[in-house]
Structure 1
Amino acid sequence: MSKEEVAAADTSEQPITKAPYWDPPPAPLLDTSELSRWSLYRAAIAEFTATFIFLYVSIATVIGYKSQAAAETCTGVGYLGVAWSFGATIFVLVYCTGGVSGGHINPAVTFGLLVGRKLSLVRAVLYIVAQCLGAICGAGLVKGITGRSYETLGGGANSVSDGFSVGAAFGAEIAGTFVLVYTVLSATDPKRTARDSFIPVLVPLPIGFAVFVVHLATIPISGTGINPARSLGAAVMYNQHKAWKDHWIFWVGPLLGATVAAFYHRFVLRGEAAKALGSFRSTGAATART
């Protein structure tokens, strides 16, 4: 056997090196010391830019699809293409910004991570402001490029679709955001990240697919918000009664869905409820013996 063959055999038999598992403690709620760190503002800029790009690509796809369909029926990318646009763009942006800001690009995701004690209130507020401003600027760029088509084709703004009630749209937004935030928390779980550290695109991939499948399910009902910044940016630029009439759905629904997902992941999947109950029973038994 040659030296090259021996070296190749030794390499193939070596186990894959995985990152050590470390579960960080809960983030402090009010960590004002972050305000003096450039890393916080760099992360906020990354969130602004990523949300700007997300709104530009996704809303431009929606306007382009409606424009093509208006010119000739059954043409354009269709709902499937719109869903792919949203999901693939999120995949790319999470991959690009994950190492800087975590790649939230969504106030509901940020809020869910806040509820799950993954980041401080200071960082969460700054992220949400940056995301909303980025979304407004991204939708504004689409409006500037598409001109009158933006107004006549609805501006990509979310609203309750004909044939569906406000309650149905509200429930769809809760369920859709639950799926998204549940996927984010599962994909970024420290134990899973350590186990699959040798697969560099694992975290962005399921998140992008979650956005894709939720859009397939929810576009016919509410146009799919699951991202308050996305809904706000389009509504601000479109600025018609239809966009603002039920706008609360696209904030309350996603934030509620994110909260449920955070509690489910923390207390059920991570077993914190069982751990707390076991600790309570142990303390009670010890007290009884004394």
Structure 2
Amino acid sequence: MIRRALAAAFLLASLTLAPARAETLPPVTFSVMTYNVEGLPWPVRTGRGKALKAIGRELAAMRAAGRQPDVVLIQEGFRSEIWDLIDESGYDYVARGPNKGQRDPNMLKGQKTDFRRVKYRRKGEGLGKWGSSGLWVLSDHPINWVKSHAYHYCAGLDCLANKGAMLVSLEVAGLPTPVEIADTHLNSKGASGVPRRRATQAHRLQADELKRFMQEDRTPGAPLIVGGDFNVMHSPERFNHVMADYPFEVVSRWCHHRPGACDTQISYDGDAPWLDTQDLIGFLDGEQVTVTPVAVEATFDGASEPVLSDHDGYKVTFKLAPKG
């Protein structure tokens, strides 16, 4: 009897002292929209100040309806009225990319580029930076830190803006680790005003800088979402170079290869929807969090929101699932 009582007491104590098994956190729904807002200054564009304010009001209307993106990635936010957009939109946390005066070391130092940095002065090369990178991140989630890089290479009229990339770390409730978000705008094609070969070469070099920036400044193992204006429309060559030797997957390609996996509320032509647009969003799992796209939609396309730029907005909803 004594032995049985002691055994029972020991068993009860061991069960009481055993550590509780950690519960797996539920998935978090998280949406990101990338939007080139065409915030170019006069006389390049007219009426853009009013349009930026209107975009802010539309984002506020989306918020009132409970369908605002958690994060908005902006390109071409050059004008001062971008602050009107931000104020109207209701986002509590804001970060900006390289400003007009930011200069960073050549990230491709030691790599033979065979690229003459100033060749077409009449097309804007070598005339200095007349504008910032135009990159902004608006977030409903607290921003832990911001890193940015101004591209060393450019071609034509694109050189008048200090194009680059930015990376932010967000604290998302319900996840065991921060989520990192990147925003970028790469060199244009015909709009740059220089021969296609030169614009393509600059685009390739910027893509290489982006990859190096992401390798050096991203937190290893962090879940990652990358968006922006990649200027790859109808150019398999540009797209393939951006994606070469880089592990993130593009949402439109991932969803296209998995019919039914994504609620796709956007029209595509052909078998390569990732080449039907300049605007892309990519993703990469983290060590502690998986990142899975579940819905894709166009915004500011004349359906739910008016057309207020020469680009539509592109919104992707993800499921961020902590690993058990």
TM-score by length of 1: 0.27
TM-score by length of 2: 0.25
Higher helix fraction (1 or 2): 1
Higher strand fraction (1 or 2): 2
User: Which structure carries more relative contact order (alpha carbon 8 Å, separation 6+)?
Assistant: 1
